[in-house]
Amino acid sequence: MIKANGQDLAASLKSNFALILEENRKLADKIAYSEVAKIIPFIQDAERIFIVGAGRSGLSLHSAAMRLMHLGLSVFVVGETTTPAIRKGDLLLAASGSGTTSSIVKAAEKAVSSGAKVVALSTTANSPLATLAAHVAVVPAAQKQDHGTTVSEQYAGSLFEQAILLLTDAIFQTLWGIDKTPAEELWKRHANLE
């Protein structure tokens, strides 16, 4: 048994993993899937998809970018050196728990001024990002500065970031079900310079 400060680390890990899974299960019951489903036509209608998020939310969206690329969609991550200019016909998929993260709001402003559409995943529909978005799917998780334990016992918005990863995987699975391209074909698009 491995211990630190008298604590059984394995038992602590198991307990915390169960907490994370349970919080995500409870959150899954509160999500308005009809609102998340409205994101799918935006993705289908976009000429190109741009992904933007900061910190761990951004990392979750990087996973979504890869999955959408596997479907054969043209996807770019904002901030990468090879990301082209956004234009009319494009979609900016943004994630921000607060909807106030300045870099994300600025990207949304640029997208809108360029004629692109913005779709947001956020904990709130009342924010600068939401004002710019053509659609906001609310993920009822704690924002990163919500240090209470009413919504989540996890640290600094972790539940929101986990939900973004899981929700965008569900969006991918739904799109893949529509697309029906065999997994073997999708795999041919997977990175081979790893």
Catalogue the active-site residues: 161
Q: How many CB atoms lie within 10 A of CB 94?
A: 30
Q: Answer yes or no: are the C-beta atoms of 96 and 54 closer than 8 Å.
A: yes
Q: How far apart are CA 103 and CA 139, in angstroms?
A: 20
Residue 67: enclosing H or E segment and its boundaries? helix 55-70
- Helix or strand or coil: residue 84? coil
Total residue count of the chain as it appears in this document: 194
CB neighbour list of residue 32: distance below 8 Å, 6 or more residues apart: 137, 138
State the pairing for strand pair 75-77/3-4.
unpaired
The closest alpha carbon to 176, from 94, 69, 75, 93, belongs to: 69
